[in-house]
Structure formats: structure tokens, C-alpha cells
Chain A
Amino acid sequence: MRILIPVKRVVDPFSKVRPLPDGSGIDTTGIKFEINPFDEIAVEEAVRLREKNPDIEIVVVSIGSGDCEEQLRKALAMGADRAILVETTHLFDSLGIAKELKAIVDTEQPSFVLMGKQATDYDCNQVAQMLAAKLGWPQACFASAISINGQALTVNRETDLGVESVEIPMPCVITTDLRLNEPRFVALPGIIKARSKPLDRIPPSATPAPVTRTVKIESPGARPPGRKVASVEELVSELKSRGVLPA
């Protein structure tokens, strides 16, 4: 059984990011890059599934500049078996990434694709579902528990109302939510071992033809400053006078 995990290189979610002065993108000066936290959860989950099912091979793939090797090595250090870097300087939108991933799936023939529900840079939450559509595979998004059950997966998925349990046949696409697991800390031996794991560099299968384009990136308008009130009484009367609470 093979699990394919797309991982994205994103700006460190805990860094304070600013727009470039001309609004053409995110200013990444001095900003660290990390593996998208939801993708890291996907890698961790695959490693845990392999602990119970030793015949699993875990393949990670990233699409982007040569710098993405850093995130792929991290995934390898966590326990992935091999990595594919689709090396490109082209800009891809979600649909373009989904098409590139489909080409990888066609070659790799994984039992399922496991990936983050969204990347914490552009917060789009699109690629996995688009990939599932392109493959004609069923999907289970926002997983909080995954187990292998013969030719199917049993997945608990988070919904607007709470947790839903589903049985989904393989092949399929699964996205991870926050509480699926807590990724392990990678110790030095793992990092050293990851350096010698295979990492294939390949060109994209096609030149992307984006259907969405970033026109501008800017800082949001700040909320007008508020004020502190001295007591519960003042708070309640202020809320009433603003019409937020019935007078």
C-alpha cells in the first residue's frame, strides 16, 4: 500500500508577515519557511498508520522552487520513505497544482492521497477536493481519525455540526484537520538518515495556465481603537447604549 502526501512550503505561521511595498506579494525577508502544519499532520498520520501496517510506503511530493527540498527532507526525517520535487519557477494556482498532482498520482498509483485541509499561507482549502474531482475519487475532508479497514478507510471527519463517521473506499483523497494528531519531534538521527533517502527532481508535466491571479496584497484596515471600561455596570450600560444589548 502506498500513501501519497503533497506538502507545501509556507511562511512560518507564527511569523508576522507584511505585504511587499508595491503590494505584489508577501514580504518574506527574514521570514522562516516551514512545512504547512496540516501537511505535517498528514505525514505524522501516515507514519502512525505504517506502525500498524508495515507494508505501507509513504511518498511525499512538493511543487515549487528547489528550496522545497528543505520541507521534503523534514517529511523524510519524520518517516516518509521517498520524496518527489516537481521543480518549477512558474506560478500555479490551486487548479494548476491539482492537475500537477494528478499527473503524480497517475504515475505513483497510491492507495490514497493524504494532505492538509488548507495551507496556512493562502488559506484556500481547495487543492485536495480539486484533485479528488480530477481523479474521480471520493473524498473525506477534515479528518480527525483515520483507520485502514480492508479496502476502505474509516474516517471521522469534522463538520460544521460535530464529528461524522464515514467508510470510504480506496483509492480516495483525505484531508487532515488540526486534531488528527500531534506531529512528533524529529531527533537528530532522523534528520541525518533523511539526507540519504531518495529525492527525485522532475519538471512539471505541463506549463500552468492559471485561472486566478493575485492582483494585490495589502494589510487589512485596523479596527478603530476601543476603550477599557471600569466595571461590569459600565460595560452593560455601554452595550445597551450602543444597541448591542436590549435596553
Chain B
Amino acid sequence: MSIVGIAFTPADATGIQAFAAALGMPFRLVQITGDPNTSCGAQQILSAGLEDIPPADGLVSSLEGVVQGASHIVAVSSMASKDVMARLAGVLDCAMVTDVVSADSPSTFKRPIVAGTLVETVEASGAPIVLTFRPAGFTKRPPERASEVESFSISPSKVRVTQAAHKSGGRPDLTQASVVVSGGRPLKDRETFESVIGGLADTLGGAAGATRAAVDSGIAPNELQVGQTGKIVAPDLYIAAGISGSTQHMAGIKDSKCIVAINKDPDAPIFEVADLGLVADLFEAIPAIRNLLGK
């Protein structure tokens, strides 16, 4: 049995290395954007070297040929991987498992359902198995030399991208940052969100996130939404400021190593899951934290 890992971004490669080690299988890597990680231990690296992730139809046509013979075709969970991998499973007419958090066997996996309120154990039959996984559940491996990089070309798509999405600002990626600072509706408006939440994120070298309520009311851009239907994060430190802690939001953060809640309301549900809770006005607490950290 062997794995083909589809790395949509360069950071995905170490996650795929960790997943392959957990299953005890060798893997080949297909790198879609950016420079491939040549110390991920892959037996083969195919690199498309693109700047942006191309539309799913053309990408899947080109992947079809290179995944032959693999028992598992895997990718780190992201919007891009969900878009592409499910189409690949459709083309290959095979099983797919989304958002795997652990593997009980090479064909039995655990995954959260109903906004993380339940855990499903699912068994996939046949081959190959396509899956997306959350890297937080898989222990990172030390760097290991990978093979030479070969190039990989993408088939044309029927979809024309008229304007590509580009990441704004210089902060790390929400799903890969080791620190995430998130804010809710009390942040009032975009400027306040940016200066308070963005400010603390910058102090800590982390990413900024937001609740659905904050995004819906225009306080934060869509791509910062953390939760069941937004980004799933698992940083070392998650700071939730002015967030009450809905089930849908908790679904996106519960794999974080340390959750800190700052909220004026001592009865906010977030305090039930936070490792450390501070009952305080975030507009006083956050500047005080930044002061203490000397920035």
C-alpha cells in the first residue's frame, strides 16, 4: 500500500509526511503551488509550481494519471482540498472520507460530524480511498530527504478565473499559524477589529480570526471565519476575545492546544472549554497583554 499526497500549499507537505508515517506507508507528493518541500521524505515529488490553485476540473484530469496504483490519495483539509479531492473521488468512483482526525486502521477513520458534537468512525471499502485530514491529529516527523523534483503539468479547465484571490496582509495563514487571536461582534467595526485583534496577533506573530457573527456584520473579512463552516484551526495558542462560544465556533477550535477566553460575561459558554479564562473587558485586557509583552 502506498499514499499519494496532494499538497495544495508548500506547508501541506509536512502534514502529509505525518499522516503517511501514522499509516506506516511510503508516499509520493504532488505539489500544486509554490516550491516543494524537499525534506518531507517523499519517494517522488511532482511539482506544478503554480502561483494559484487552478480550477478543480482541469486539476483533477491531470491528477487522475499520477494517482494510479495508490491505495490512499490524501490532502490536508482546506477549502481547496475539499473542492478538488471530492471531484477526484467521483472520477475514480471510490470512497472518500472528509476531515479525518485519526486512523484506527488503513481503512477505518474517525472524523467529527454535526459541528463536532459527535465523532463518527467510518470504514471505507475498495481502493483507492480518497481522504482529507486535519494535521493536528498526526505527529510531525523530523525532516527527511525527499527524491528529486519532477515537473507536473495541469490540464486546461473549462472555468476561467477572472480574478484570483490573494492573501491580504503579512500575517501567517490562519490554518497554519501557531497562534490565532479571534474576535467576535464586540469588536464593533473593521478598524477596531484590525487594531485590537490584528494588533495582538501581530504582537504574538500569529493570525487573526473571527466568529461568524463578526464576519456577517462586516467586522472581519469572510476568509477569517473560524468554525464548522469556516476554517478549522489547531494552533498552540488560541485566544478568543469577546466570543461567547457557539457550538459552530467551538467546532473550529477544539483541537487547539491551549484555548484562552477573554470575555466580560462570566457565564459565557466559552469558559467551559477554555483552558484559561479571564473575565475582563477585552478593550482593557488586550492592550494590557501587549504592554506586558513589551510591544
The interface of chain A, by Cβ under 8 A from chain B, is 11, 13, 16-19, 26, 38, 93-95, 98, 117-118, 120-134, 138-142, 144, 154, 158-169, 172, 177-179, 211-220, 223-229, 231-233, 235-236, 238-239, 242, 244-245
Contact = CB atoms under 8 A, between A and B. Distances in A.
A166 B58 CA distance: 14
Contacts of A124: 96, 98
B68 interface: no
Interface in B80-104: 80, 82-91, 93-99
A132 B273 CA distance: 40
Contact of A118 (B165, B167, B222, B229): B229
B257 to A, nearest CB: 7
A11 B117 CA distance: 12
Closest 5 CB pairs of A and B: A133-B90, A130-B90, A129-B86, A211-B95, A162-B165
Contacts of A179: 215-216, 222
Interface string B230-269: 0100001100000000011000001001111000001000
B98 A125 contact: yes
Contacts, number: 253
Given A26-B118, A159-B165, A220-B112, A141 B56 contact: yes
Nearest to A230: B278
A94 B85 CA distance: 13
Interface magnitude class on chain B: 35 or more
Contacts of B125: 211-213
Contacts of B113: 121-123, 217
Given A159-B79, A160-B78, A129 B90 contact: yes
Contact of A123 (B91, B99, B165, B237): B99
Contacts of A245: 204, 237, 293
A218 B119 contact: yes
Contact of A168 (B87, B99, B158): B158
A223 B119 contact: no
A166 B161 contact: yes
